[in-house]
Structure 1
């Protein structure tokens, strides 16, 4: 991997390699862009096939966080960290505290959070060494489980997409197919049920399906059948790359709006959706509620304030549709353009993030 060539291609600011022999720490911190503020993004712990794969994953995810934060209207940049190791057996107090000291050494340029393979308990250990961490235990001022907040944001974004497709954001009587009924999607189903929507659900975990059927009167279908059901809205809330060559021709929905990350396997699938006349709600715009929620912890967490900010996902989604119309481009490209335009506007007045000595994180 030609690292500097990759950094230059997407204009990354910094790549940090962290090593501690005593704890066995091998970590990578990638900071993509701090034009809007400090880089915030979770720490992933994973058994990568190679160090190069770990670096590439950190870089790719960091860039995604820049766009997600910018599109959400947050004063944050994009960053991400990965720890090379098996989260089932390689965790230790000394490993996470060592990693916390590396984060502290960046003096606020990077703020971490939970991600795949890490937990609240891990964030609490990091917190012993630095204040630049979110998603800690509620006793330390966190917002707790972010799933209901993420679900509320998806619900708001779905209503905006429905307005685009049907002329009204009223979901009462609409049939919504939900793929995956985990913590976020279960809470999404609750919002949809309360508004009077008809739910069709599937999940690889049968208990999740049964809970949705019992609590919301949902209809259960097979994992492969969810794509072809008659519905108004398809809500992918499980795996990424779910809109692909095998599934796209099966869809009967007029709207795709769900919580899953990286829903399009390739960009050309976003183009195909546009050609089919399906309204697509770009994933990193609609599922930004979790990021908004942890970002609020930087100001001493206030749930009402966080939820009020999450409500604006509705307006952010309408703005994406306006840009799509203005520039005659698919919505997945319009979301990128919305984020890039905001960064460009603020870049004219400030460059890279500099730590404020009076930051609330240091009080």
Structure 2
């Protein structure tokens, strides 16, 4: 596998761990970007990558994003991420998860893991049998913990409302058209919130059955994944995998707003400027999708209850407005503004 130092997404990461366990078939990468504000917090992703280098790039990008996300959310956490390299059959066993937990435990608390794509609460229980440096465990009524997805969905929904208020001057999503890329757990939560407020939805997912199910629940329309970013809508909401906003896709957008829960939506930093040049308001992904890690952090630190989690998530629109305000005052695009803010918070000079 390629070493991380020469990759464009290596950003002075403090640690990058390559983990193998032949007995269980585990192959994983744990990337720690920064511990300036506290232990590196970030979920474990279980995914099949065509090439190992893609997994390394994903770990580097996602861990840096977690540093920025946690800093902008005002959390006492640094940023890290892990990817478990699934085989083509997505084979996942308790023994593999236990081995992964041992690897996390060996980092001695500098990294705290939780759910991400391909990992659920049951998996976190298995991982927790090998390490205490884990969050996202089952919760009881009124307690924090459990699946962070609904909290991410709530934050994204509130962020979309803030974007609509900022760009369109509207206090409600009623009768507005939202094009949802993705129909997974986070996208479903966002869609249900938006539907309850009267929004009209167009939905696409690589899993057609998921898209059709969500459309039936919300009265929405289904289009193909090739069409969704070109739909004429008030809001395009990316809620699947990253790097989907590039020179070609941005040129095809027919929307005044891009706001969604996917990580690493911009393929390159220049794409934030491209959105800005087109007059499209962008909600930086790691600011708008911080609801899940807010819940995870509150659970792990034990410093509050569900009411505090809700109050912290309601701070997401405030931070977005701060970013957009500074952008409007300086002429810089929101992605660049947010990056500079986050870099200052983690003790690094802004790049560029």
TM exceeds 0.5?
yes
Greater than 6 Å deviation, 4+ residue runs: 5-9
Say whether 1:284 aligns with 2:286: yes
Asked whether the 8 Å contact 2:63–2:79 carries over to 1, the reply is yes
1:149-201: per-residue Cα shift (whole Å, max 9, x none)?
21110111111111221234432232222222332222212221222223233
Paired with 1:328 and 1:215, the residues of 2 have a C-alpha distance of 41
Secondary structure of the corresponding residue to residue 248 of structure 2: coil
Contact 2:35 2:77 in 1 (8 A): yes
Closer, same or farther: CA 323–207 of 1 in aligned 2, 3 Å: same
Superposition pairs of residues 136-155 of structure 1, within 5 angstroms: 136-138=137-139, 143-155=145-157
Task: Give the paired residue count.
Answer: 346
Corresponding position of 1:361: none
Match for residue 314 of structure 2 among 306, 311, 334:
311
Larger radius of gyration: 1
Deviation larger for 81-90 or 156-165: 81-90
* TM-score (norm: length of structure 2): 0.85
**Deviation string for 1:49-92 (max 9, x for gaps)?**
66655444433322221111112221110112233452846544
RMSD over aligned Cα atoms: 3.0
- TM-score by length of structure 1 reads 0.83
Cα shift readout 1:220-252 (whole Å, capped 9, x = no counterpart): 444444334332212122342322333323322
Matches of residues 122-271 of structure 1 in structure 2 within 5 Å?
122-138=123-139, 143-271=145-273
Does the CA-based 8 Å contact 1:45-1:86 persist in structure 2?
no
Q: Give the whole-Å Cα distance in 1 for the aligned partners of 2:266 and 2:334.
A: 12
Aligned to 1:329: 332
Measured in 1, the distance between the counterparts of 2:71 and 2:86 equals 31
How far apart, in 2, do the equivalents of 1:276 and 1:51 lie?
35
Secondary structure (helix, strand or coil) at the match of 2:29 reads: strand
Question: For residues 57 and 8 of structure 1, what CA distance do their matches in structure 2 show?
Answer: 9
Q: CA deviation at 1:132?
A: 0.5
Per-residue deviation, 1:17: 3.8
| Structure 2 residues without counterparts, runs of 5 or longer | none
Aligned partner of 1:63 in structure 2 is 64
Answer whether contact 1:282 1:332 (CA < 8 A) is retained.
Answer: yes
Give matches, 1:9-158, under 5 Å. 10-20=11-21, 22-46=23-47, 54-86=55-87, 88=89, 90-138=91-139, 143-158=145-160
